[in-house]
Structure 1
Amino acid sequence: MRFPKSGLYAITKTEDKTTDQVISDVSEAIKGGIKVLQYRDKQPADAIYLAGALKELCKTHNIPLIINDDIKLAKHIGADGVHIGKDDGQISYAREILGLQAIIGVSCYDSVEQAVLAQNLAADYVAFGRFFSSSSKPQAAIAHISSLQQAKTIINIPIVAIGGILPDNGAELLDAGADLLAVIGGVFNTTPYQSTLAYQALFK
């Protein structure tokens, strides 16, 4: 499974939801046109079951499933890749465990230098953010539009923007150099199908 060059990157919202509801929400978001899904769950009750179910759902629709933080879980369920932050292990370790075909994404926050390093270590995409106020990551450091603009001139792998992104502010990030928009609450706080459709106009 290849990482998409553009589009909506949905990240699961699991708080106060049953596993069946999470699966249903993701199914609706897939119908709405997401291009990639990340399974993110900070307090999982049954991560192996839920991640495995999401893997099968994504596989059916030819959408990559990325696991947040957990390289061992990604390996266990045969996910398409993993997303790691600065404290989540080295890119080389993830590559060793998951193999050459795995998708490896790296959080670079507001650091273009970190994005260049990730690219040099054969990451498949880099992520910048947060750009706007975010209920999912309220304490995350602010990233700047200028970082996207600079990264676009020297980064040759897809650039993902994250953090408080809505249909009415996402265009600014795409214009600055983001290729994909990563969204949690904007998709999964209300009706995922309709919410996902609202983002699609940004990519046309």
Structure 2
Amino acid sequence: MSPQASWRQPEELSRLLQVYLIMGSNNCIRDPEQVLTDAIAGGITMFQYREKGTGALTGDERFTLASRLRELCRVSGVPFIVNDDIDLALALDADGVHVGQEDELATEVRRRIGDDRILGVSAYNLAEAEAAVRCGADYLGVGPLYSTQTKEDAKSASGLAVLSGLRESGVTVPIVGIGGIHAGNAGDVVRAGADGVSVITAITHADNERAGTEALRDAVSAAQVR
């Protein structure tokens, strides 16, 4: 079994979702490569390259940065996920793809990326979550749980009840909470039913990216001790 395929196993994926950094160049105050280097040192467990929104790179610049970030993840053993762009993911031999509800259908994404790579799908409610699982999602990105300004087209915050509701309704696949999460509320997200937290600015806008990552890991770890 390839490393990518083993990462798709639910128990392993649950661990890998604990501190999930999502980032593009336009999310960073400092150099993106240095931000990712420091976040890896602080203990992120998964990384998603999401180059979207105002000021995002395009063309060759986008591919070059993606390649450099991919290499940092490769040598560190951190799964590298690409947001939405399947062609880019395949060109980089990424470890997986994450798509939203408005992106390419999850069934088609699974067909294109094969059985080894991780497939994550965003979900806002039970109906979307169940549909994503039927279509082959390995994990769900649920939210936004709290209000966020990072994603320009974000829906209104759902609150934590959606997580407990999904678990009570029988959704068993790994879940990562998204939207407005920081070290101060990460533990609440895990206690509500998520396996981990995904963040952007809690790390990329931190005064010290490594310390910001460590604070998130500590919060998640403490919440998992029940």
TM over 0.5: yes
- The alignment of Structure 1 onto Structure 2 pairs a total of residues equal to 202
Distance in 2, Cα, partners of 1:13 & 1:188: 10
State the Cα deviation string for residues 12-52 of structure 1 (Å, max 9, x = none).
1421759x810110010000000000001112242211111
Contact 2:119-2:138 within 8 A present in 1 as well: yes
Distance in 2, Cα, partners of 1:122 & 1:78: 20
| Cα drift, residue 133 of structure 1 | 2.5
Residue ranges of structure 1 left out of the alignment (5+ in a row): none
Normalising by structure 1, what TM-score? Answer: 0.93
- The aligned counterpart of 1:116 is 130
Distance in 1, Cα, partners of 2:36 & 2:195: 21
1:100 aligns with 2:110: no
| Cα drift, residue 139 of structure 1 | 4.9
* Distance change (3 Å), C-alpha of 1:50 and 1:155: same
Mapping of residues 142-161 of structure 1, within 5 Å? 142-153=157-168, 154-161=170-177
Normalising by structure 2, what TM-score? Answer: 0.84
Residue ranges of structure 2 left out of the alignment (5+ in a row): 222-226
* Distance change (3 Å), C-alpha of 1:106 and 1:16: closer
Q: After TM superposition, which residue ranges in structure 1, 4 or more long, deviate above 6 angstroms?
A: none
Contact 1:36-1:63 within 8 A present in 2 as well: yes
Distance in 1, Cα, partners of 2:147 & 2:129: 22
State the Cα deviation string for residues 135-186 of structure 1 (Å, max 9, x = none).
3026522223221002123122110111111111111111110111000000
Distance in 1, Cα, partners of 2:142 & 2:34: 28
State percent identity of aligned pairs: 32
Contact 1:13-1:188 within 8 A present in 2 as well: no
Letter in 2 for 1:44: L
1:125 aligns with 2:148: no
Q: Which moved more, 1:83-92 or 1:44-53?
A: 44-53
Contact 1:130-1:164 within 8 A present in 2 as well: yes
- The aligned counterpart of 2:42 is 32
Distance in 2, Cα, partners of 1:131 & 1:203: 16
- The aligned counterpart of 1:168 is 184
